[in-house]
Structure 1
Amino acid sequence: MTIVPNEVERVRYFVRGLTFSIGFYVFREAREWASVQSTVSTTKEAELIVLEEFRETKRDRSSGKFFGASSRSRG
């Protein structure tokens, strides 16, 4: 299967429209010969990776112990 220049331009346009965090993963994987369908599949995988990283970061922050003072006044 030969990719026509139109297909290459579609891939480039698609990747340019992604958010930075997702585009970072996709750009590394997308090559000049990548089809739109394979780029979309890579994007779906990247979305899952970014979402999982976000959840882990959020979980790490919320599972830590709180060492600060209470915001309620004591008295």
Structure 2
Amino acid sequence: MGTIVELDVREDLQKKIEPFEKIMNAIKPLQAGDTFILHAPFKPIPLLPIMKAKGFTYKAEQMEKKHWKVTFVKQGNN
């Protein structure tokens, strides 16, 4: 199994800080087989097609009312 990077953006969003750049920086070094785990207060629907375009598959799980865990796995060599 490859590298696993985990990022929790719930606090950023609570403070009205847009986490998009932080997420993009976190996934930049990932290679095929690596995993990126995102914790967010809602299902990050706008992010999903962006991540798909960057070669990631995903599985979204609602852990609690305001806690979603989305596991992205980098595919192939995009």
What TM-score do the two structures reach when normalised by structure 1?
0.29
| Bigger share in strand | 2
TM-score (normalised: structure 2): 0.28
Asked which structure has the greater CA Rg, the reply is: 1
Return the structure number with greater helix share: 1
